[in-house]
Chain A
Amino acid sequence: MSERTDWPLWEVFVRARRGLSHTHAGSLHAPDAEFALRNARDLYTRRGEGVSIWVVPSAAVTASSPDEKDPFFAPAADKPYRHPTFYEIPDGVKHL
């Protein structure tokens, strides 16, 4: 394996079935978007995991910083009325 690392990094999202959302599957290197799609097909859908793939340049992802975790997420914890815990989930509903 050579030292070449000049190919950009891509994030891969795979939709497992119709009706579900695309889920982050991992990342890979590829010279361009078309090859990123093909590499994603080889790396993440070999066992029939997907019906659709998105690839996004990793550089295009803006992520929240671990340092901002408290101001970002803590205020949600003490507002129980935001959590619909009183509903019983019908048996047939799988992906709620």
Chain B
Amino acid sequence: MSAALALGDDALVLSHRLGQWAGHAPVLEEEVALANIALDLLGQARVLLSLAGDEDELAFLREERAFRNVQLVEQPNGDFAHTIARQLYFSAYQLPLYRELAAGDGPFAPLAAKAAQEVDYHLDHARQWTLRLGDGTQESHARMQRACDALWRYTGELFRPVEGLGVDPSALEQGWLRSVGEVLERATLTLPDGPRSGGWAAGAGREGLHTESFGRMLAEMQHLHRSHPGASW
């Protein structure tokens, strides 16, 4: 089930990245909001990875090259603007994808129907912050623009075909560009114009090629399970 791995790894890795804000978020209320989103994604990951095999083995015992998540979700948290830009780009892709899956009768339909409501909220959260940071102070505007630009090259990968998915992600690309473009415009930000595909774009995560910081993240995520095999609460 390579599609289950792809979607499950996206959710798992982004969940872990968001979880890294625990204890570090700018304010307590926002920390809870990010943790809630992380927990939603972790719930999705558990269902998806269980479709592909044993969830714990898949999450904690695979090597870096066996992960099938897009490179966008593994990008480091950076400053708060980077976290929000990553979430905006990803949720604006995940929501229409889940809606398409929910409308079909494939193996992902039941999960997608429930998870789409969660992602609807994730997208709303990211939009609200993008508007406030983009249309906020000079400093917040500059940081938000920098984050949108920096992550742009990872967004082309979202729309590559995934084997066994039952939905063609490339059909979602125009809608994604419209919805992200509209948010950025309202936030007084400029839609980045760098390459999203071709030689200068990033993105071979679905083939198991990951970026530099991913190994560190995995080591942190997996070390407890690997140090104490078979341990339980």
Contact = CB atoms under 8 A, between A and B. Distances in A.
Nearest to B37: A42
Interface stretch (A27-35, A57-65, A71-79): A27-35
A24 B23 CA distance: 27
Interface string A18-46: 00000000001111001100110011001
B32 A39 contact: yes
Interface residues of B, number: 14
Given A31-B132, A34-B128, A39 B26 contact: no
Interface of A: 1-2, 4, 7, 28-31, 34-35, 38-39, 42-43, 46
B29 A30 contact: yes
Nearest to A31: B132
Given A2-B26, A4-B26, A7-B27, A42 B128 contact: no
Nearest to A40: B29
B26 A46 contact: no
Contacts of B188: none
A35 B25 CA distance: 16
A29 B128 contact: no
Contacts of B50: none
B28 interface: yes
Interface of B: 23, 25-30, 32-33, 36, 124-125, 128, 132
Nearest to A36: B29
Contact of A29 (B25, B27, B124, B132): B27
Contacts of B125: 38
A20 B52 CA distance: 45
23 contacts: A1-B23, A1-B25, A1-B27, A1-B28, A2-B26, A2-B27, A7-B27, A28-B29, A29-B28, A29-B29, A31-B132, A34-B128, A35-B132, A38-B33, A38-B128, A39-B30, A39-B32, A39-B33, A42-B29, A42-B33, A42-B36, A43-B29, A46-B36
Nearest to A34: B128
